[in-house]
């Protein structure tokens, strides 16, 4: 081996630290903000999956620095949350101390890999200086009417002692369980803080048109927001109005029953005495079902008749009112008009309970629900009309007769923003004995250090037991602090702005200061954001919502925070399964760095395959990366350099620079590395001839983005005194990419028989002459009748013989 990776890594890690090489520059009018989704600092430390994403942004950052950009490439910690709280419950140790120890370990590991993070910009969501701003943003939302304290139905996990968001629960065999721990989750009414993200549903939809994300992520968000425009109709039942939302008002003539969500507020009012016991039992069963289970159309339909009837506002027919768990109370009005002849879900229900089925769209097959396009029948006002015509006419009729109105609905629900945990951001809220709510504007409200971490079991946070913190007197008036804490998703909803505001580790300028506005003007939006696809409708949606609000408050200069978003694929175990202690297939990056070096680890992970692909770990692949790193080092170290260019490498060098630059820009790291390999092979083919020095320098610059330690070492060996990051990225001489000679394929009857090298723009006549005189081609055309000659200049000659 030509070098000791341990010695080189130690040398350059020390150099970068002492010289603050990665400190964010402010010297250029070109900027690039490149961001990783920040990690939760677990006790397990970073894993090779983290390194895949982090190396990708590091490669881009290094190239951008050499291209003369001011680069913001920071790292911080998603430091609040349930794992630290669970640790505290199990051990009795303070979660903050546990978290700080984990952060120290993570930093040590990240520095070991050579990432260009500016630790003067480091943030932690559990630091009071950080969550002071989180609390400030909450205060602004409250003042804007976007935060509300109210009774809501929640997902309650008794074992964890807290409410969970929909994206924190999973469904197994029709039962709701916590994502962490697989504990039972039930529906329960509790007084909670909610943020009115629904008021930004349209803004969030429109914003997706501005960002350069892949279509699948955009579609996930669009579907989660779930916009639909239709009509809200009023079905009357005695003194109760049942509002139903439909996008197909044209099917009103086919309604044979109304079905309500079991938890709809009017269900018990509508239930007759003889049906009350059955309805209550059904409501109780439904509370233990997950939303995923209720939406599953493959499940058998269940329901109960309330005993009451409603009047169809168009036909004046009396239709029965049922309840069923396939109708959700949190979408539309919680009640739907059922048209079994033209909806498969309603067909199954009507068939099971022997309810009428009336076809109002023409079809020759009435043995199943018809959901296609057809003209209307049995529909007095719209007979003979198609869907679009019928909807237009019925909508106008409904509005004119005041039996309904046009409505846009969204599936998106308001964001449940309370957690009954102690290890989260405290709310800047005081509750008066008279039920009044007082904002605390002297921030931060600091989380107390406590010893009793156990949940109360009655739905209150452990903070409720800290009397000296909870009880507050202002001018002699008693108040109690809000003892719920904010969810783990609060800090991550604005943390990307904190890096811009940071002037030292966890020290920030005021978010609403003129200086902050200038900085936001410079650095926003984030140019490249890399992280897992699992955050598509959680973190990404919430972060966009907070950004839209801050834009409306004139704090930031744009609505959308993330210009380009990339999702890296997972690194699986060598057995092709997800890495897990359970399977014993976890790869420890510390071990890999010890045996193969950080450069080999980085190069291997970038070369495994397409960035978005999930691929298994391979020791053979890692060994190959190490061998190639040494081959590249040896090539540069042993090359005889010259300042005279014999032009023999002009094309290959400029072609590689162009391709590598473009490929890094588009995160095609594996093919970029392939191009570097092409260049190394070309140099070895020179067999000891002097190599034009600028071409070797350019190669080292490109190589250093992937392998920064040997990149710096080779740069120094080439005679440079300063870090390679202060050099200028190689440029492409386009004139060198124009080849004077090209290869033309020669075919006989469409089959390749030879290739010839000719000057560009060689005439058809000359190409034919050269083709026919080729020895290999001669053997296929001699003694044959030539019936056609096809010549495409600079590309192909095809001789057709008989």
Do residues 621 and 669 lie in contact, with contact meaning Cβ atoms separated by under 8 Å?
no
Domain ranges of the chain: 22-135+493-572, 227-410, 589-736, 739-801
**pLDDT tens digit string along 124-177?**
999 999 999 999 999 999 999 999 999 888 888 888 878 887 777 887 777 788
Residue corresponding to tokens 């990225």? 729
Give CA–CA dist 324/304, Å, rounded. 7
Averaged pLDDT score across all residues of the chain? 93
Do residues 233 and 244 lie in contact, with contact meaning Cβ atoms separated by under 8 Å?
yes
Q: Which letter, b or e, does each residue of 231-266 get, where b requires 16 or more Cβ atoms within 10 Å of its Cβ?
A: bbbbbebeeeebbbbbebbbbbbbbbbbbbbbbbeb
Closest CA to 232 of 333, 367, 113, 103: 333
Give CA–CA dist 421/197, Å, rounded. 23
Please, which residues have CB within 8 angstroms of residue 466's CB and are 6 or more apart in sequence? 448, 450
**pLDDT tens digit string along 535-545?**
888 899 999 99
Instruction: Report helix, strand or coil for 62.
Output: helix
Which of 275-289, 409-423, 460-474, 700-714 ranks highest by mean pLDDT?
A: 700-714
The more confident residue out of 422 and 23 is: 23
Instruction: Report helix, strand or coil for 708.
Output: helix
| CATH number, span 227-410 | 3.90.740.10
Closest CA to 655 of 728, 730, 736, 727: 736
Residue corresponding to tokens 């909870």? 470
Are domains 227-410 and 589-736 of this chain identical in fold?
no
Compute φ and ψ for 739, nearest 5 degrees.
-80, 135
pLDDT at 386 over 60: yes
Do residues 260 and 245 lie in contact, with contact meaning Cβ atoms separated by under 8 Å?
no
Task: Return the percentage of the chain with pLDDT > 90, whole number.
Answer: 79
| Residue 760 marked as a ligand binder | no
Please, which residues have CB within 8 angstroms of residue 319's CB and are 6 or more apart in sequence? 235, 255, 256, 257, 258, 309, 310, 311, 312
pTM here is 0.87
What is the predicted pLDDT for the residue at 589?
93
**pLDDT tens digit string along 715-758?**
999 999 999 999 999 999 998 887 777 889 999 999 999 999 88
Residue corresponding to tokens 């040494």? 630
pLDDT at 777 over 80: yes
| CATH number, span 739-801 | 3.10.20.590
| CATH number, span 589-736 | 1.10.730.10
Residue range 622-650: mean pLDDT, rounded = 95
Closest CA to 466 of 482, 478, 487: 482
Closest CA to 788 of 775, 776, 798, 773: 798
Give CA–CA dist 353/644, Å, rounded. 90
**pLDDT tens digit string along 643-667?**
999 998 999 999 999 999 999 999 9
Residue by residue, DSSP assigns 514-573 as HHHHHHHHHHPSBSEEEE-GGGTTTHHHHHHHHHHHHHHTTSSS-S--BSBEEEPPPEE-
Is the backbone peptide bond immediately before 464 cis, with ω within 30 degrees of 0? no
* CATH class label, 22-135+493-572: alpha beta
635 alpha carbon, distance to own chain's centre:
41
What is the predicted pLDDT for the residue at 457?
67
pLDDT at 435 over 70: yes
Strand partners, 110: none
> Token digits for 276?
């009350």
What is the predicted pLDDT for the residue at 254?
97
Using alpha carbons, list the distances in angstroms from residue 446 to 133, 155, 162, 424, 468.
12, 27, 21, 10, 13
Instruction: Report helix, strand or coil for 618.
Output: coil
Strand partners, 419: 485
Compute φ and ψ for 218, nearest 5 degrees.
-60, -45
């Amino acid at each position: 081996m030509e070098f000791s990776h341990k010695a080189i890594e130690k040398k350059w890690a020390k150099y970068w630290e002492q010289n603050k090489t990665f400190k964010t520059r402010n010297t250029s009018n070109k900027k690039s903000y490149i961001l990783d989704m920040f990690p939760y600092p677990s006790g397990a430390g970073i894993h090779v999956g983290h390194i895949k994403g982090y190396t990708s942004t590091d490669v881009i950052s290094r190239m951008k620095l050499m291209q003369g950009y001011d680069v913001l490439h920071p790292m911080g910690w998603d430091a609040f949350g349930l794992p630290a709280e669970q640790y505290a419950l199990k051990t009795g140790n303070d979660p903050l101390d546990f978290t700080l120890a984990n952060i120290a370990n993570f930093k040590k590991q990240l520095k070991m890999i050579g990432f260009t993070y500016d630790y003067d910009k480091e943030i932690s969501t559990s630091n009071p200086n950080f969550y002071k701003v989180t609390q400030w943003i909450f205060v602004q939302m409250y003042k804007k009417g976007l935060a509300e304290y109210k009774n809501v139905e929640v997902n309650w996990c008794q074992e964890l002692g807290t409410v969970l968001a929909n994206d924190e629960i999973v469904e197994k065999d029709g039962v709701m369980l916590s994502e962490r721990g697989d504990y039972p989750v039930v529906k329960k009414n509790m007084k909670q803080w909610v943020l009115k993200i629904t008021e930004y549903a349209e803004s969030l939809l429109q914003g997706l048109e501005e960002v350069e994300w892949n279509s699948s992520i955009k579609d996930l968000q669009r579907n989660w927001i779930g916009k639909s425009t239709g009509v809200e109709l009023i079905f009357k039942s005695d003194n109760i109005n049942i509002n139903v939302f439909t996008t197909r008002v044209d099917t009103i003539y086919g309604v044979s029953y109304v079905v309500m969500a079991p938890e709809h507020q009017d269900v018990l009012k509508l239930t007759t005495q003889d049906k009350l016991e059955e309805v209550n039992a059904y409501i109780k069963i439904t509370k233990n079902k997950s939303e995923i289970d209720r939406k599953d159309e493959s499940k058998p339909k269940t329901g109960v008749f309330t005993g009451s009837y409603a009047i169809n506002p168009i036909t004046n027919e009396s239709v029965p009112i049922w309840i069923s768990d396939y109708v959700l109370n949190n979408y539309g009005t919680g009640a739907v008009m059922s048209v079994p002849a033209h909806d498969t879900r309603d067909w199954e229900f009507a068939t099971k309970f022997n309810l009428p089925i009336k076809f109002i769209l023409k079809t020759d097959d009435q043995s199943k629900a018809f959901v296609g396009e057809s003209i209307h029948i049995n529909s007095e006002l719209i007979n003979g009309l198609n869907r679009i015509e019928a909807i237009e006419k019925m909508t106008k009729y409904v509005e004119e007769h005041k039996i309904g109105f046009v409505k846009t609905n969204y599936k998106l629900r308001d964001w449940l923003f309370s957690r009954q945990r102690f290890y989260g951001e405290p709310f800047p809220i005081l509750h008066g004995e008279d039920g009044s709510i007082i904002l605390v504007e002297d921030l931060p409200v600091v989380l107390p250090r406590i010893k009793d971490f156990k949940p109360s079991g009655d739905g209150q946070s452990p903070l409720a037991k800290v009397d000296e913190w909870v009880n507050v007197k202002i001018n002699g008036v008693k108040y109690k602090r809000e003892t719920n804490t904010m969810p783990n998703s609060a800090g991550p909803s604005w943390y990307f702005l904190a890096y811009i505001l940071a002037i030292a580790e966890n020290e920030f300028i005021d978010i609403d200061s003129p200086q902050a506005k200038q900085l936001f003007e410079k650095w926003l939006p984030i140019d490249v954001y890399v992280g897992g696809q699992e955050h598509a409708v959680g973190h990404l949606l919430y972060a966009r919502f907070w950004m839209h609000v801050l834009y409306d408050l004139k704090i930031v200069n744009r609505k959308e925070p993330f210009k380009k978003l990339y999702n890296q694929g997972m690194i699986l175990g060598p057995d092709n399964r997800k890495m897990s202690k359970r399977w014993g297939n976890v790869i420890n990056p510390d071990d890999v760095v010890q045996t193969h070096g950080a450069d080999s680890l980085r190069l291997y992970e970038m070369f495994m395959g397409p960035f978005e692909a999930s691929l298994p770990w391979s020791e053979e692949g890692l060994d190959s990366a190490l061998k190639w790193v040494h081959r590249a080092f040896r090539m540069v170290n042993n090359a005889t350099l010259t300042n005279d260019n014999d032009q023999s490498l002009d094309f290959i060098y400029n072609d590689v620079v162009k391709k590598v630059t473009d490929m890094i820009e588009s995160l095609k790291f594996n093919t970029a590395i392939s191009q570097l390999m092409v260049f190394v092979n070309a140099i070895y083919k020179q067999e000891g001839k002097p190599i034009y020095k600028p071409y070797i320098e350019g190669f080292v610059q490109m190589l250093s983005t992937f392998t920064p330690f040997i990149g710096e070492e080779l740069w120094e060996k080439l005679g440079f005194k300063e870090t390679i990051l202060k050099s200028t990225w190689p440029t492409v001489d386009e004139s060198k990419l124009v080849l004077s000679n090209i290869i033309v394929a020669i075919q006989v009857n469409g089959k390749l028989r030879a290739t010839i090298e000719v000057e560009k723009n060689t005439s058809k006549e000359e190409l034919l002459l050269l083709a026919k005189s080729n020895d290999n081609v001669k053997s296929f055309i001699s003694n044959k009748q030539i019936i056609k000659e096809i010549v495409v200049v600079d590309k192909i000659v095809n001789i057709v013989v008989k």
